[in-house]
Structures are given as structure tokens and as C-alpha cells.
Amino acid sequence: MPPKRGLTPSGLVLVDKPAGPSSFAIVRDLRDRTGARAGHAGTLDPFATGLLLVLLGAFTKQAQQFVGLTKEYETAVDLSAKTTTGDPEGEIVEEHEPPSEEQLHERIAALRGEVDLQIPAASAVKIGGERAYKLMRRGVDVDMPLRRTTVHELEVLDYDGRIARLRTHLSSGGYVRSLAAALGGHCVSLRRTAVGPFKIDDADSERVIPPEEALAEL
């Protein structure tokens, strides 16, 4: 008996997402190209790049196995201004003098470990039953809740007095844009380098990792 349409190929695809398209557009492209049902295990903002996990075919039923994985990022943060979205697509709402290198390291130290960070207004979190980003687009002023986030790692790679390049390792559900806002700035670039045991260096949108191999990594 032939396999049910849409259930094959089945497995995991590691995609290096470029800046611009949405995560759903990447998923849709893989779905159209393979003929299999498809779903992602954690979105990336359109401006962001890096590792996107896409589950194909019958393997989409295993999506819950990938929920809760920690994530690693490299980001450049402009510490001279905050924006409405926490990224370059928003409007500037506050401008100020960037911190000194010593001040930056003090702020960084205070954000390691378990911290409560405000969820960005431009997020898919539901407020009163509606997505926060939809409320923001309509101009609704929303008091966004805090989310407890574990910052396993937060390291300064470079700082020129305005733009700080950072590497961070966050618990599931953590927002790098929230970290940037807590530091007094906004992300100008964001790249996800790892999701749990899966690394950006292994990304290959043409390869479907067999289910047993993908699950063994977990």
C-alpha cells in the first residue's frame, strides 16, 4: 500500500534562514518542494538569520520533542537607542548616550542567570486572546508581561562605543530583543547559531535527516 500523501519524506531539515523571509515562508517553500506536510520548531523574526528546524511528513507529530530546547545566538546591539520592536524594523522611541565599556560589562553581568525580561510588543504572545504584534500594529498600548528567562551565557565579543556584538545562550522562549532592551538598546542584527544539539554549521536545506537520527541527537 503506497504511503499516505504528505507523510513522506519524513524527517528533520536544518535550514540556514536568510534575512527577509518569514519562518512560515521557509516552511512553505520546503512543503511545496517536497510535497510533504511541514512545520517549524521555533520561529525566527524576518530580519534574523540562522538555524531554523523544519519537520517534514510524519515526523511533524514529533514537534513536541523539540519544544524546550535552548537556543544560541550572535547579535549586534545598538546601545544608543531603543525601538518599538526591539529591532531595526521599529521606530526609535528613546535615544541616549551609549554606556562606557565598564558600564556595559556591569549591565551584562546583571543579566546572566535567571532574569525576568519584558516580552517584546512585536511578538506572537497572546494578550487578551489576540497576538501582541497585531495590537501593536493597530496602535494599542499594551503593558507587556515579564517572562522568566535563563541566560546561560552572555558574552561581549566586541564593542565600539555604540554597537556591541554579543553571544548568548538562552532558555526556550527567551527573546534576544528583550535582552537588547534591558541593556538599553535594540538588535540591529541577529543570527541563531544553535538549537539544542543542532548547529548552524550542519544546516543543509537539501538534506532530510531521518527521524531516528534526529531523535538520537536529543
CA 71/CA 69 separation, integer angstroms: 7
- Give the CATH number for residue 190: 3.30.2350.10
Number of domains in the chain: 2
Report if residue 1 sits inside a domain: no
Whether 116 and 38 share a structural domain: no
Question: For the segment 34-78, what is each residue's pLDDT rounded down to a tens digit?
Answer: 999 999 988 898 899 999 999 999 999 999 999 889 999 999 999
Return the active site residues.
45
User: Which structural domain, as residue segments, surrounds residue 24?
Assistant: 11-68+198-217
Whether 91 and 156 share a structural domain: yes
Given a contact cutoff of 8 angstroms between Cβ atoms, the answer to whether 199 and 16 are in contact is no
Question: For the segment 152-196, what is each residue's pLDDT rounded down to a tens digit?
Answer: 999 999 999 999 999 999 999 899 999 999 999 999 999 999 999
Whether 115 and 15 share a structural domain: no
Report if residue 3 sits inside a domain: no
Q: Of residues 49 and 6, which shows the higher confidence score?
A: 49
Report if residue 40 sits inside a domain: yes
How many angstroms separate the most distant Cα atoms in the chain?
68
Question: For the segment 96-143, what is each residue's pLDDT rounded down to a tens digit?
Answer: 999 999 999 999 999 999 999 988 877 777 777 887 777 777 777 777
Report if residue 154 sits inside a domain: yes
Whether 149 and 46 share a structural domain: no
Instruction: Map grid coordinates 494578550 to a residue.
Output: 127
Alpha-carbon torsion (105, 166, 132, 62), positive or negative: negative
Whether 20 and 79 share a structural domain: no
Q: Is the pTM of this model over 0.95?
A: no
DSSP state of 107: H
* Confidence (pLDDT) at 5: 52
* Confidence (pLDDT) at 3: 47
CA 203/CA 71 separation, integer angstroms: 15
